[in-house]
Amino acid sequence: MPEFSKSPEELPLPILYSFRRCPYAIRARMAIASSGVAVELRNILLKDKPQDMIAASPKATVPVLKCTDGMVIDESLDIMLWALAQSDPEGWLPEGTSVEKEIFMLIAENDGPFKSNLDRYKYHVRFPEKSREEYRRDGEMFLETLEQRLRNQPYLVTDHPTLADIAIFPFIRQFANSDIGWFEKAPYPNLRRWLDEMLSSPRFRDVMQKREIWKAGTNGVPFPAADGS
């Protein structure tokens, strides 16, 4: 009998294990949505991590991407780069330019020193070495860097969003939400404007939609959905 190839709709998709509110997972979903690369989204609870995800990535942190060839990517920035390598319609990563170097410099500062300060500010009772206010001041060094950049341009590196903006804003959101009253009065008007724009974007609303928690033995949901959600 002749063999018939499967239609694209029937082919297996890469599987993305994700948690709705995790900033690392948020930025991975944002990049995948921008690229338009389809994945099977499995929304999980961190207090009840599925064995399928742990088997794929023993470190058991989200996001985890399991590709159709069996390759596993369990770092959010690498997942973003994986998606943009396939399709970068919005020019988030201008490779081989000075802009690219700036992008990765800012992300490294965000993912390193700033994330460390953010954790200590947010969970200050676990780190009694300093007061909450001191941890906040430590984190403000990065806020001031971003504020300076945003004084003369609408986004962190260029006049349009790049990988830097998308990789960083979920963590600034967390910092702001740790004491929103303080943040709204802090001397960072350009940073607030930038963050508000990120949070009010249709794409952010789409990736933050509440979805059912994935159950073992079932399929996840296509992401991004055909309607862009």
Q: In this predicted structure, what is the pLDDT of residue 5?
A: 34
Structure tokens of 28? 């991975």
The secondary structure of 96-110 as a DSSP string is TSHHHHHHHHHHHHI
CB 188 within 8 A of CB 143: yes
pLDDT tens digits, 146-204: 999 999 999 999 999 999 999 999 999 999 999 999 999 999 999 999 999 999 999 99
* CA–CA distances in Å: residue 26 to residues 18, 61, 121, 184, 200: 8, 13, 21, 23, 14
Structural domain boundaries of the chain?
8-91+206-223, 98-204
Residue position matching structure tokens 């300060």 = 117
Say yes or no: domain 8-91+206-223 is CATH 3.40.30.10.
yes
Indicate if the alpha-carbon torsion angle 69, 73, 74, 77 is positive or negative: negative
Q: In this predicted structure, what is the pLDDT of residue 215?
A: 95
What's the CATH code, domain 98-204?
1.20.1050.10
pTM metric for this prediction: 0.93
Residue position matching structure tokens 């973003």 = 80
Percentage above 70 pLDDT, the chain? 93
